[in-house]
Amino acid sequence: MRAADVLCAQLDCGSAVTVVEVDWFGEGSGHIWADVFDCQGKETHLSQCNISSWSRAACSHEHDAGVICNGSSVAFHEGRVRLSG
């Protein structure tokens, strides 16, 4: 859950409420850049966490996960971030 908190903070969306499995948001697409984030919870960006296999992730999209944050809604412009909620 610490990685989820870091992600919510990085997106300026508060803190994580829960982590959900692939059936909540559906499978993603494209390259999987990392599969395990070991965060302490004080990082401000996921890239500051220990990442076990950067760009060599051995998982598939059937193992995707999502994060629900408690912060306010945000709008992304000209980005490629898939959000729902």
Domain edges within the chain: 2-69
Stretch 51-75: mean pLDDT: 76
**Which ranges in 19-71 belong to alpha helices (H)?**
22-25
* Residue 31 C-beta-side C-alpha neighbours within 13 Å: 5
Please say whether the beta carbons of 83 and 76 come within 8 A.
yes
pLDDT, position 81: 59
pLDDT tens readout for residues 2-50: 999 999 999 999 999 999 987 788 888 888 877 788 999 899 999 899 9
Confidence of residue 77 (pLDDT cuts 50, 70, 90): low
Q: What is 2-69's CATH topology? A: Mac-2 Binding Protein (3.10.250)
Q: φ, ψ for residue 47 (rounded to 5)?
A: -65, -15
d(CA 28, CA 75): 20
